[in-house]
Structure 1
Amino acid sequence: MATPRLVYDDDCGFCKWCVRIALRHGEFDPVGFADLSPDQRARLPAEYESCMHLLTDDAVYSCGEALERVVGRFGPGWRRAMNAARQVPGWQRVRERGYRFVADRRAIWGRVRSCADVE
């Protein structure tokens, strides 16, 4: 299996900081919105700039589900935690609402945590 591509907002310092964390704990190929190939962009939803995405060989995960899949690749403990979370009733709704809460306030979070590049 090819290394999954982690697609993110490369204009957002907080998003870049989050990608740095992901790269520290898992194996991903980071791709900023500005660097998407036409083929990659074609796989993404129309409103792709509203959240992060994880592109694998056979699937596209977006927003909270992408974050869940990324964290699940950090190691066995994280994978078990994500598997347990999926068993919680209403997990998908909570996951997406939590993701939106953070994503819609990226400028605020960027004042606390931010970086200029992912590497």
Structure 2
Amino acid sequence: MTEHPPRLVFDDDCGFCTWCAHFAERHGDVEIVGFSELSPDQLARLPADYERSAHLLTDDAVYSAGAAIEHTLAHDFPVLAPVFGALREVPGYVELREHLYRWGADNRDLLGKIVRDEPPARQ
């Protein structure tokens, strides 16, 4: 049994990132933690360049970028877990997942014109 629900760490100064975090929070028991709210213990678990991507902190692992989003979706929608498990066996899937994540992260301003929530760090 885990001690804490997974924590999705995100850029709480970005409207698109905030919308994505709220989506995860609405559809499961994922806790969301903005970059501006990180505790010293949480910060110590993250990579030095943590502000380049989202992260999912579980009791025993840290997932970053596309892996963080994949594991968050699998947690919130358990029916997807075996789908992602099968996809990870497909050559090139992990690279494609990370490429798509990076495209989304690099185009947050554009995507934020489609969906966004008011970022907590700006309130």
Q: What band does the TM-score fall into relative to the shorter chain?
A: over 0.9
Give yes or no for the alignment of 1:68 onto 2:70: yes
Asked if the contact 2:13/2:119 (under 8 Å) is kept, the reply is no
Instruction: Tell me which stretches of 4 or more aligned residues in structure 1 moved more than 3 Å.
Output: none
SS in 2 for 1:31: strand
Q: Give the Cα separation in 2 of the matches to 1:56 and 1:95.
A: 20
Query: Where in structure 2 are there 5+ consecutive unaligned residues?
Result: none
Q: How many residues align?
A: 118
Match of 2:30 among 25, 28, 31: 28
After superposing the two structures, state which structure 1 stretch, 58-67 or 84-93, moved more. 84-93
* Unpaired stretches in structure 1, ≥5 consecutive residues: none
Whether contact under 8 Å (2:46, 2:62) holds in the other structure is yes
Identity among equivalent pairs (%): 50
Task: For residue 113 of structure 2, give the secondary structure of its aligned residue in structure 1.
Answer: helix
With 71-80 and 92-101 compared, the bigger mean Cα shift is at 71-80
CA distance in 1, matches of 2:90, 2:28: 25
Could you tell me which residue of structure 2 aligns to residue 97 of structure 1? Answer: 99
What's the TM-score once normalised by structure 1's chain length?
Answer: 0.93
TM superposition score normalised by structure 2: 0.90
Please report the RMSD computed on the Cα atoms of aligned residues, expressed in angstroms: 1.3
Render the CA deviation track for 1:2-48: whole Å, top value 9, x for unaligned.
11111000000000100111112221111000000111111100110
